[in-house]
Amino acid sequence: MIPAPGSPGEGWSRLSPRKLLLDPVKAIGQAIVPVVVALIGISQSDTRFWPFVFPLVVIAPLLFGALPWLTTHYRLTDSQIQVRSGVLNKTTSTAPLDRVRSVDLEASLLHRVLGLQKVQVGTGVDDDRITLDALRLADAQALRTTLLRRREAEQPASAPVLPAEDGTAAPVAPVPAPALLARIDWSWLRFAPFSLARLVLLAGAVGVVAQFGDDLPIWNEETATSAWEWVTQFAVAMVALVLAVGGLVLWLVVSVAGYVVQWWGFRLVREHGSLHLSSGLFTTRSITVEEAKVRGVELVDPLLMRLVGGAELSTLATGVEDGVTQVLPPCPRDVAIGVGESVLDQPGPLTEPLVEHGPKAHRRAWFRQLGNAVDVTVVVAVAWWFLDFSWLWVLGVGVAALLLAAAAGEASYRHFGHALHERHLVAGSGTLARVRTVLETDGIIGWVVSQSWWQRRIGLADLTATTAAGAERVLVRDVRLDVAVALADRATPGLLTDFLEPV
């Protein structure tokens, strides 16, 4: 039963008083757009309401910003962390110390100006996180250190403590010093333009301009016509070259700036039985992943980044948000492999060659991509039938789609493969990006062997290892059925015994 909370004076603490400055600014920032729209609408209809609306706009954020500080209290007992909040509906959230799996710290630019940090305590249950926003920097760091150390103290020892030869108690082993696994190296900036993750930002910016561009005073039909006439005065090749160079420069600026903002001050440290990741220029974040809950890693070599020898590394863990945590920025592949092997505590799974799946899997990889090319060609042919444009477009699209499909099919097969490396299952996948997933066999909780109609005819199957970590599944695609069953049986001896035919 959850203990009834006492008064704020009975071991209960408030958040930092600086939160009274933080929340009103956040509330104003969130409400600024609808408020401005409402004020513009009122000003166009009737200005008599202005004296009433303006005080409301100022007072409401202050009021709503003060409530969280007035109603939120927390305390740390011998066995739990407890947080009480709410005005009408009182809520008390608790987390046993031995269930604490992560303690993450985050600070936006406004947090940093005020000297505050947000603390998020994870307990290993999805979306079940205790949040304290905001604590002073020293209090947040002390709380994280205390929670992680108390968690270790609450957990049972892995081995009994033996007395010394003279009968006295043996000395307690010292706590290992923090080990630095990786830190930012600004020579890694060369990988930023080859990571296409920032394209989302450019697409969003283009969408905003497309949506609101018509309302800009500098943009109208006359302006667009005159600009186009001015552009067409130059050679088309020159215009295309200028646009290409301009787009490339814009992409370099966006990608490098985004890399710096996200990974500024990056450090990956092993401490207190956990991996601690910290980074960020404007919004700093400090993420904790308990190593006991890490079940594997995922090494990703994106298509463009492979050209310059880059890669990305993520951990697969239970009890963390989304299950997959990127622990390295785009960096040299040998650095990613070195950190990955350190996390796995075993060399080999990220570098040793995989078992190929044979010519049948090779043909299936090709036909899977060729089917996509046929679908694209059919769509273009239907559009040609109704829109009556030149059939050469259909031919050109069909040829290009087939060539791309052949290249994609060959690439996807080359990325296929599997291996069983002592205590790890290794699976290769990906089409454009090459992905190698390494999962501890102890983290496998079940197997799924599936076959489509075509797979049954050629003796192939998809083998899926189910797990509570990462994306909760690791797929070995298009492997021979007998090989799939043997692989599953060797990875988890005894798990499939009842389902195997006696020899």
Stretch 371-400: mean pLDDT, rounded?
87
**Residue 159 pLDDT level (bands cut at 50, 70, 90):** very low
Q: Total domain count for the chain?
A: 1
**Residue 9 pLDDT level (bands cut at 50, 70, 90):** very low
Whether residue 166 is predicted with pLDDT greater than 80 in this model: the reply is no
Q: Is the residue at 282 inside a domain?
A: no
In DSSP terms, 438 is beta-bridged to: 297, 426
What DSSP state is assigned to residue 489? H
**Residues 188-229: tens digit of each pLDDT:** 999 999 987 766 666 655 554 555 455 445 555 566 666 666
**Residue 393 pLDDT level (bands cut at 50, 70, 90):** confident
Helix (H) or strand (E) holding 444: strand 444-450
Q: Is the pTM of this model over 0.85?
A: no
Q: Is the residue at 111 inside a domain?
A: yes
Q: Is the residue at 334 inside a domain?
A: no
**Residues 331-375: tens digit of each pLDDT:** 999 999 999 999 999 899 999 999 999 999 999 999 999 988 999
Integer Cα distance of 439 and 318 in angstroms = 12
Q: Is the residue at 44 inside a domain?
A: yes
Q: Quote the percentage of the chain above a pLDDT of 70.
A: 76
Please report, for the chain, how many H helices and E strands are present, in that order.
13, 21
**pLDDT higher at 254 or 216:** 254
C-alpha closest to that of 328 among 182, 109, 120, 214: 182
Q: Is the residue at 78 inside a domain?
A: yes
Helix (H) or strand (E) holding 91: strand 91-96
Rg (CA), the chain: 29
pLDDT computed for residue 162 by the predictor? 46
Q: Is the residue at 336 inside a domain?
A: no
CATH number at residue 26: 2.30.29
Q: Which domain holds residue 94?
A: 13-152
Whether residue 269 is predicted with pLDDT greater than 90 in this model: the reply is yes
**pLDDT higher at 418 or 54:** 418
Q: What is the token pair recorded at 329?
A: 């920025």
Q: Which of 123-137, 193-207, 219-233, 281-295 is predicted with the least confidence, judged by mean pLDDT?
A: 219-233
Integer Cα distance of 299 and 311 in angstroms = 7
Q: Quote the percentage of the chain above a pLDDT of 90.
A: 39
pLDDT computed for residue 161 by the predictor? 47
**Residues 403-433: tens digit of each pLDDT:** 999 999 999 999 999 999 888 999 999 998 9
Mean pLDDT of the chain: 81
> Is-contact 381 396, C-beta < 8 A?
no
pLDDT computed for residue 296 by the predictor? 94
What DSSP state is assigned to residue 355? B
**Residues 64-113: tens digit of each pLDDT:** 767 888 888 999 888 888 999 887 788 888 888 888 878 889 998 888 88
**Residue 7 pLDDT level (bands cut at 50, 70, 90):** very low
Integer Cα distance of 417 and 403 in angstroms = 24
Q: Is the residue at 451 inside a domain?
A: no
Q: Is the residue at 237 inside a domain?
A: no
Q: Which of 74-83, 261-270, 475-484 is predicted with the least confidence, judged by mean pLDDT?
A: 74-83
